[in-house]
Structure 1
Amino acid sequence: MRVYVHDAEGKRVVEADEAATLVDVTGASAGTKIWAEDAAEPLAADATVRVLAGRNVAAVHVGKGLITVSVTYAGATKTETFGPGAKIDKVLDWATGKDGFDLPEGDRHDLVLRLKGSTGSLDPDTHVGTLAGKGETLALDLLPGDKFAG
């Protein structure tokens, strides 16, 4: 099975047997957490590649705990924790939803997330663990996306 491994060194693809442990496949040291993509909790220490078999993409994030994501909108800041494999689209759903800023449905589609102080919108498929790097926090701004006149 093809496993996409995200860690402090970057991203790589590893071919592995489903019976192999994720610790062996990723080269993680003892006690290091391994997270499946979009998971809220790390996988068991003895998990095998087989636990990823039913997923659309067999991707794991190695060596990080939860990432504390702070989103600022209209001068207010809300904070939530996500697994490192959570994608920006999931953070956007939270930030615009009832547990975040509780924005009207019609306003949500015009908003994007950007790194704090940045002018570039984030790709919805980017993982928060990738953006946080080796850190445990991530600061984002929720802003109107680019509008095209026409």
Structure 2
Amino acid sequence: MRLFVHREEHANPEAIEADGSSTVGDLIGRAGLQNGGDADVTAWLEDADEPLDRGATLDEAGLVDGARLHVARRKKIEVSVRYAGETKTRDFRPNVHVQRVFKWAVGESGFDLPATERAKHTLAVCGAETEADRYAHVGSLASGGRVCFDLAPKARYQG
């Protein structure tokens, strides 16, 4: 099966061919984040609440062709969002999409923007010239276990 593996501090996933009888631990090793038995490294199915069992086979873990995973040393990423001179911070799992961070940032627990304003805004990595890919994993964008986003008007990045 072909799996798409996202890693810490790597914006683009790597396609890895694997057999269903390989273990999650084998996959972690192939992703290059483990030197033997580094038990701190975990693999997460995209947007899952818990990491996969390292001893489970890929078949036992329920992985299918085309599955997307995130392999990381950290189980939480500190995410900060800046807007209108204020910063809000919350921890997210490394396999969470930027789109989910956006929903939090514009929602009640974040900056509580009205629906009409939500549609006019986007997230960009702090200091970046373009919008963040809404399907990127926050762990892929993080450095040192942290990532910062600006909640900015979409018009800023268009044309």
Contact 2:80–2:149 at 8 Å: present in 1 too?
yes
Distance 1:57 1:145 in 2: 31
Matched residues, number: 147
Specify whether residues 100 and 52 from structure 1 end up closer, same or farther in structure 2 by C-alpha distance, changes over 3 A only.
farther
What's the offset of the Cα at 1:9? Answer: 8.3
Distance 2:58 2:88 in 1: 35
What's the offset of the Cα at 1:52? Answer: 4.0
Report which stretch shifted further, 70-79 or 23-32: 23-32
Contact 1:72–1:78 at 8 Å: present in 2 too?
yes
Partner of 2:153: 144
TM-score (norm 2): 0.80
Partner of 1:60: 69
Divergent runs of 4+, >3 A: 8-11
Report which stretch shifted further, 75-84 or 44-53: 44-53
Does 1:5 find its partner at 2:5?
yes
Distance 1:59 1:103 in 2: 31
SS of the aligned residue for 1:53 comes to coil
Which amino acid letter does the alignment assign opposite residue 93 of structure 1? K
Does 1:124 find its partner at 2:126?
no
1:96 to 86, 99, 106: 106
Specify whether residues 9 and 108 from structure 1 end up closer, same or farther in structure 2 by C-alpha distance, changes over 3 A only.
closer
SS of the aligned residue for 1:146 comes to helix
TM-score (norm 1): 0.84
CA RMSD of aligned residues (A): 2.3
What's the offset of the Cα at 1:41? Answer: 2.7
2:42 to 33, 44, 50: 33
Distance 1:25 1:119 in 2: 34
SS of the aligned residue for 2:155 comes to coil
Does 1:47 find its partner at 2:56?
yes
Q: What 5-or-longer segments of structure 2 have no aligned partner?
A: none
Contact 1:64–1:136 at 8 Å: present in 2 too?
no
Q: What 5-or-longer segments of structure 1 have no aligned partner?
A: none
Partner of 2:21: 19
SS of the aligned residue for 2:99 comes to helix
